[in-house]
Amino acid sequence: MDKIKKIAPNSVNISKLKLTDFRNHSFTSIITDKKFIALVGKNGSGKTNIIEAISMFASGKGLRSAQLSEQSNINGNGGWSIFMEVKSSNGVTKLGTGIGSPQIIDGKARQCRIDGKFLKSPRQFSECIGIIWLTPQMDGLFIGQRTDRRKFFDKLVHLIEPGHEENIKSYERLIMQRNKVLMDADNKISWLDNLEKQISKLSVNIIISRDIAINQLNKIMDAEVKNNLFPSAKIIMREELGNINKRSSMIEIEAELQQLFYQSRVRDRESNRTSVGPHRTDFTLYYNKNNMYAENCSTGEQKNLLVSLILAEARVYQEINNGVSPVLLLDEITAHMDNDRVSNLFEQIGEIGSQTWLTGTSENLFDYIWDKTDIFNINKGKLSHRTP
């Protein structure tokens, strides 16, 4: 395949977006040249479906982690498609993704294209656009399942360390194989040794990527958050890696991990799971001002901590991508947020330069950015454009 055209420095904006038979949108087309796009409507009108469509150009399954069949319009033909044009100093790049009904039935993957060229994976969209989102479902992240926190943080790590997600998938696949071999009464020791060697090598890469990304995020949060109204915090990793010294060389860490997996075989066979490794890592935030971990903070404080983290992620992304800022998708972000923080949030986004897609139930929520915003009112999947 020809090399994909990469976005050059400076602003990256979605200038055109088309949804066909996606969720409750039979056909929706948005053309914009604004930095802020506000999607306004009642709950269930289809505004979040639009930002979900944009999130399909990030790696993974989008902001709802939905099955492809769930995203089809119930009155459509069973498939769906999304198209967007991204403007940058390189010009216009055309991105498309979708799937037909027969492919959904057959359990096939969705198709992805950049400028008409087929991609092997949605991860390749990251060569053209970075996307970060925050939704109300994430408000309970710090008191929910460890798996959800790990997936959330690993997605942030992937934006900073692009090979991270592929390493995670390969690692998880090998862990499943190890568990299966452990439960096999006739398991071959040499096979298990080989699996654990591969797992240990991937573990080192995962650990390093997480450390690099978290150090960058913590540095930005410490430097930038002091100048705004969102809480200064620090990402804390809670790892289950035995007594491994992470300051050792990569080769030494790999050898220590391999020994750790070897020593846990009996215990892991009895429990039918691998009890140590990067897949057991948990994440949290430490709220500096209150000397408190995020899970012990109030609901409002937890939301503000998440906003701090997302803003830090956007700044780090911009720093490592020669000034290119990511697109932000903020679902009901201003709900239950006081006016000063709303104003400060939009000021910070303006400094970063990210094109930002927002949802809300009222146009009044976007008074602070009225002159910079395209407003689309949505009702049952139908849009009407209101120019401020």
Say yes or no to pLDDT of 2 above 60. no
Neighbouring residues of 121: CB distance < 8 A, sequence distance ≥ 6: 59, 112
Say yes or no to pLDDT of 352 above 80. yes
Say yes or no to pLDDT of 209 above 50. yes
Say yes or no to pLDDT of 258 above 70. yes
In whole angstroms, what is the distance from residue 340 CA to residue 356 CA? Answer: 19
Strand partners, 248: none
Torsion of CA 377, 381, 382, 388, to 10 degrees: 20
- DSSP for 266-318? HHHHHHTS--SSGGG-EEEEEETTTTEEGGGS-HHHHHHHHHHHHHHHHHHHH
Question: Residue 226's pLDDT is what?
Answer: 61
Say yes or no to pLDDT of 5 above 50. no
In whole angstroms, what is the distance from residue 206 CA to residue 327 CA? Answer: 25
**pLDDT 10s digits, 176-208:** 999 999 988 676 788 999 999 999 999 999 999
Instruction: Label residues 84-123 b or e (16+ Cβ within 10 Å = b).
Output: bbbbbeeeebebbbbbbeebbeeeeebebbbeeeebeebb
Helix 189-224 × helix 146-160 angle, to 10°: 70
Nearest of 9, 32, 8, 49 to residue 382 by alpha carbon: 49
Alpha-carbon 258 to chain mean position: 30
**pLDDT 10s digits, 278-309:** 999 999 999 998 999 999 999 999 999 999 99
Say yes or no to pLDDT of 84 above 80. yes
Q: Which of 68-77, 202-211, 378-387 has the lowest mean pLDDT?
A: 378-387
Question: Residue 90's pLDDT is what?
Answer: 84
In whole angstroms, what is the distance from residue 81 CA to residue 9 CA? Answer: 29
Give me the residue spans of the domains in the chain: 13-130+326-386, 146-283
Give the global pTM: 0.93
Write down the mean pLDDT value for the chain: 92
What DSSP state is assigned to residue 231?
P
Across 155-173, average pLDDT:
95
The burial class, CB within 10 Å (0-12 / 13-18 / 19+), for 162 is: middle
Question: Residue 223's pLDDT is what?
Answer: 83
Question: Residue 386's pLDDT is what?
Answer: 80
In whole angstroms, what is the distance from residue 186 CA to residue 193 CA? Answer: 14
Residue 20 host element (H or E): strand 13-22
Percent of the chain with pLDDT over 70: 96
3-state secondary structure of 388: coil
CATH architecture of residue range(s) 146-283: Up-down Bundle (1.20)
Instruction: State both tokens at 357.
Output: 């897609």
Across 102-110, average pLDDT:
94
SS3 content of the chain, % helix, strand, coil (to 5): 45, 20, 30
**pLDDT 10s digits, 24-68:** 999 999 999 999 999 999 999 999 999 999 999 998 899 999 999
Percent of the chain with pLDDT over 90: 83
Nearest of 265, 255, 256 to residue 189 by alpha carbon: 265
In whole angstroms, what is the distance from residue 10 CA to residue 242 CA? Answer: 44
Using CA atoms, how far residue 19 sits from 24, 94, 108, 352, in Å, is: 10, 14, 20, 28
Question: Residue 187's pLDDT is what?
Answer: 65
In whole angstroms, what is the distance from residue 45 CA to residue 185 CA? Answer: 55
Reported for 138-142, long-range contacts at CB under 8 A and 24+ positions apart, including other chains, are: 138/306, 139/299, 139/302, 139/303, 139/306, 140/302, 141/302, 141/306, 142/284, 142/285, 142/293, 142/294, 142/295, 142/297, 142/302, 142/305
CATH architecture of residue range(s) 13-130+326-386: 3-Layer(aba) Sandwich (3.40)
Q: Which of 74-78, 196-200, 328-332 has the lowest mean pLDDT?
A: 74-78
The burial class, CB within 10 Å (0-12 / 13-18 / 19+), for 212 is: middle
Strand partners, 384: 377
Question: Residue 388's pLDDT is what?
Answer: 53
Nearest of 134, 117, 11, 111 to residue 57 by alpha carbon: 111
3-state secondary structure of 47: helix
